[in-house]
Amino acid sequence: MSLATDSDTICAIATPPGRGGVGVVRVSGPLAKSIANTLLHFDPNPRHAHYSSIYDASGELIDQGIVIFFPGPNSFTGEDVLELQGHGGSFVLDRLLKETVQCGARLARPGEFSERAFINDKMDLTQAEAIADLIESSSEEAARSAMRTLQGEFSSLINTLGTSITELRVYIEASIDFSEEEIDFLTEGKTNETLQGIIEQTDAILAQAKQGTILREGMSVVIAGKPNAGKSSLLNSLAGRDAAIVTDIAGTTRDTLIEQINIDGMPVHITDTAGLRHSEDVVEREGIKRAMKAIASADRILLLVDAAKDPVTLETLATYLTEIGLETLLEEHQLDRLSIIYNKIDILSETPSIVHLHDDKHSIVNIKLSAKSQDGLDLLRQHLKDCMGYSPSGEGGFIARRRHLDAMLRARSHLVDAQNQLLGSREGELVAEDLKHAHRCLGEITGEFTTDDLLGKIFSSFCVGK
């Protein structure tokens, strides 16, 4: 780890803006103790909660509250840390912050406290990222998983896997050094058996990481279809409230409307869109344009059709999509993102069902439901979980990011290359090199191998004061 921190003392307001019962100003760095002496007029005991008056440089009383001093390295950042817990008014906190700057601190960058904790080996990169993920978690399951990552469960799995790879690499390199021995260590079954076990171990962690990514980022779902198909009613039923206006007038929805729900802990971002049809109305055409943009980036498209008026089948699907302007789904072979939802089955007195339609080219899920009566919504919810391969993890899950998945996939690719070399050319040097690259990919996850640019990108997405 070549990145070095500066010796500046930093400060920031660590609580959200606005009014509150308590507001916190955090200070970290070599001047933290002298700042405490200046503002408090006494030397605080380490890790002791003092109820104290807080003064400005001229001796005027600013506030009264709880003050805690954490001497480094036994602090969050590994440096001397001072926390001033005063009243949560913006004017009071701004005065406290101004005084810490007058005493020699500078304003912290977003995520700089967590960055210093990482640099000072108080946590690895996955744990640092988990702080932001815990703050931003949108479900109980996501919060629990972020906490498990913060406690080091994900890091422990990665480090154990890295150790296994290193041990195998050492074994192979030793076999190269003793290549004149009677035993060929590369061709014996134990080496490939060990490597296969490492690949299976990687796959198991990768499966958990995919679940963790879903928990963090969620699933994007767009409800699309003709006007008056019941799109807004379906959104309201899934959201459990009247989020969208529902009328019998076609074309009520003119803009995209996004609601976030969670299904068994899986965050789902649902977008209601304007009805798809040819229109001369300028506002409606803009709504349709925005609907198309949302459809293009969605994980799942729910094509809502009126079961009584538009009995779409696989045979008529291409014509129907062309009619509403979604022919690009056919042209770009993206029907795997599409589910057909037959709505208003209450009018037809039909029962909810889910059917997989097949022909020589396509396989599409068809769900019959009623957004009005909510019959069949349980089938839709289960279908959305199945689309993402999501299952509630219960105990043992952890939060993950797309960069973690990317690094793990690259590590797995190198492991497979190593196995192919082992079973093919049996070039020990090439096998060892692939194992080296796999281990380096894993090191990117925890921060063992990383770049300043990556760290800057990660920590700049944190809030100020964290």
| C-alpha torsion 55→57→59→63, nearest 10 | -20
Q: What percent of the chain has pLDDT over 90?
A: 40
Q: pTM for the full model?
A: 0.74
Phi, psi of 463 (to 5 degrees): -80, 160
Domains contained in the chain, CATH given: 10-124 (3.30.1360.120), 147-215+401-447 (1.20.120.430), 218-388 (3.40.50.300)
- Please state the separation of Cα 258 from the chain's center in Å: 18
Which one-letter amino acid corresponds to residue 14? A
Query: Do 393 and 141 contact (CB within 8 A), yes or no?
Result: yes
Amino acid 2: pLDDT: 37
Which one-letter amino acid corresponds to residue 259? E
Which of 1-15, 136-150, 202-216, 304-318 is least confident? 1-15
Q: List pLDDT tens digits, range 418-427.
A: 999 888 877 7
Q: Is the pLDDT of residue 276 over 70?
A: yes
CA angle 232, 233, 235 (to 5 degrees): 65
Q: Strand 10-13's sheet: what is its strand order?
A: 50-55, 61-70, 81-86, 23-28, 10-13, 106-107
Average pLDDT of every residue of the chain: 85
Query: Do 225 and 275 contact (CB within 8 A), yes or no?
Result: yes
Amino acid 466: pLDDT: 64
| 8-state DSSP, 351 | P
Q: List pLDDT tens digits, range 65-113.
A: 999 999 999 999 999 999 999 998 888 999 999 999 999 999 999 889 9
Nearest C-alpha neighbor of 138 from the set 219, 250, 73: 219
Amino acid 192: pLDDT: 86
CA-based diameter of the chain, in Å? 85
Cα–Cα distance between 12 and 112 in angstroms, integer?
Answer: 10
Q: Is the pLDDT of residue 37 over 80?
A: yes
pLDDT bracket for residue 285 (50, 70, 90): confident
pLDDT bracket for residue 183 (50, 70, 90): very low
Cα–Cα distance between 346 and 354 in angstroms, integer?
Answer: 16
Q: What percent of the chain has pLDDT over 70?
A: 88
Strands 61-70 and 50-55: antiparallel
Cα–Cα distance between 446 and 127 in angstroms, integer?
Answer: 8
Task: Give the residue ranges of DSSP H helices in 120-188.
Answer: 125-136, 140-150, 153-177
Q: For the residues 356-365, what does the mean pLDDT come to?
A: 77
Amino acid 393: pLDDT: 63
pLDDT bracket for residue 182 (50, 70, 90): very low
